[in-house]
Amino acid sequence: MIWLAIVLASVGAGWIFGHGDAAFNAACAAESAPQDLLTGVLGVTIGLYGRDRVRLRRTYASPSLCYAGKVLLFVSLSPATAWTLSPLAWPPACLHLFSAGVALGVSIWLGNLPPRL
């Protein structure tokens, strides 16, 4: 629940401190959404492959890497959401960087979950 509050706080901070154009940011995000969502889905696929390796006992799950991946996921998701939904004057290419961070975070997080939750 705290992660959702962090994402919403980043959007609120973007509205308070932003000096850009929110409509332009939303239009750029809608235009690049298929590429960015594909990047995120590739991260999920790689993470599920790592989870399968843990299930088959070829490697061990690391709780610290799992938590680090979760932190990286939400650290990348917060500015991406803030850029999309608020008037921040960042370049549009930063959205691709944030989606790569989301993919890396979700792959590390899912790949290191323990076998039994």
Q: Which residues contact 84 (CB under 8 A, 6 or more apart)?
A: 25, 26, 29, 95
pLDDT at 117: 61
Task: Determine the Cα–Cα distance for residues 110 and 59; give it in Å rounded to an integer.
Answer: 14
> Any residues with CB less than 8 A from the CB of 36 and at least 6 apart, and which?
29, 95, 96, 99
Considering the entire predicted model, what is its pTM? 0.88
- Provide the pLDDT for residue 100: 97
The pLDDT score that the predictor gives to residue 115 is 78
- Report the distance separating Cα 31 and Cα 111, nearest Å: 30
CA distance 99 to 105: 10
For the beta carbon of residue 38, count every other beta carbon within 10 angstroms. 12
Are 108 and 72 contacting, i.e. CB atoms less than 8 angstroms apart?
Answer: yes
Neighbouring CB atoms inside 10 A of 4's CB total 9
Give residue 64's pLDDT.
93
Residue 59 DSSP class: S
Residues of the chain with pLDDT under 70: 117
